[in-house]
């Protein structure tokens, strides 16, 4: 996907910004006009602003609480851009709900959208099935078939359900860690 396409919007949320950064930089390096949109719940959770500013021609910042940049979601700013410019492609990396809503918007506009999925991966070979996702109605494994997929083909609802599968075990492990004094 690192080829010249025209105007590309790179949307990152939370820690997904770190994964998005090299892709953003690469898209700019091959000659695209890159608009970056990054967001976090609050200003002090926003990461890599300077890096993303350098990798983008235009960087827009959003915080859910309005403490910095646009008060609202990255999808608000994305919609404004899609309403005013011809966009060839969108890349979205961040929380699954964010990627789902980005893809819902870009599908309405007919804009190709790539997402990067990061489900639990155990063995990196696809044999354990931990990173199983449904893309285009077919079972894929993020560790070997991805992690990048056509966002319009991803079953995000299933991905969100699978992401919650180990929630109890994660909470139990966290409580054990706190009990051992490693908070």
- In terms of DSSP H, where are the helices of 30-155? 49-55, 74-84, 96-109, 142-145
pTM of this structure: 0.92
Per-residue confidence band for 66, with pLDDT thresholds at 50, 70 and 90: very high
> Across 97-101, 115-119, 170-174, which has the greatest mean pLDDT?
97-101
Task: Compare 9 and 123 and report the one with higher pLDDT.
Answer: 9
- What's the confidence (pLDDT) of residue 119? 85
Looking at residues 3-29, what average pLDDT do you find?
Answer: 98
Looking at residues 53-57, what average pLDDT do you find?
Answer: 98
Residues across the chain: 183
Residues 6 or more apart whose CB falls under 8 angstroms from that of 167 comprise none
Cα distance between residue 38 and residue 18, in whole Å: 10
Q: Please name which of 96, 89, 84, 80 lies closest in space to residue 161, comparing C-alpha atoms.
A: 96
- What's the confidence (pLDDT) of residue 182? 53
- What's the confidence (pLDDT) of residue 1? 65
Looking at residues 161-182, what average pLDDT do you find?
Answer: 81
Share in percent of the chain as helix, strand, coil (round to 5) = 40, 25, 35
């Amino acid at each position: 996907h690192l080829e010249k396409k025209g105007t590309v919007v790179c949307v990152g949320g939370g820690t997904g910004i770190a994964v998005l950064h090299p892709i953003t930089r690469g898209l700019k390096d091959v000659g695209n006009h890159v608009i970056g949109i990054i967001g976090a719940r609050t200003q002090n959770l926003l990461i890599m602003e300077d890096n993303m500013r350098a990798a983008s021609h235009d960087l827009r910042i959003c915080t859910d609480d309005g403490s910095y940049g646009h008060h609202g979601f990255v999808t608000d700013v994305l919609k404004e851009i899609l309403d005013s410019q011809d966009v060839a492609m969108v890349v979205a990396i961040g929380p699954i709900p964010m990627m789902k809503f980005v893809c819902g918007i870009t599908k309405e506009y007919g804009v190709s959208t790539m997402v990067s999925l990061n489900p639990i991966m155990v063995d990196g070979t696809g044999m354990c099935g931990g990173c199983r996702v449904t893309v285009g109605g077919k079972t894929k494994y993020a560790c070997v078939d991805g992690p990048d997929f056509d966002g319009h083909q991803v079953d995000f609802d299933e991905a969100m359900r699978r992401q919650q599968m180990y929630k109890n075990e994660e909470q139990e492990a966290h409580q054990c860690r706190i009990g051992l004094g490693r908070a």
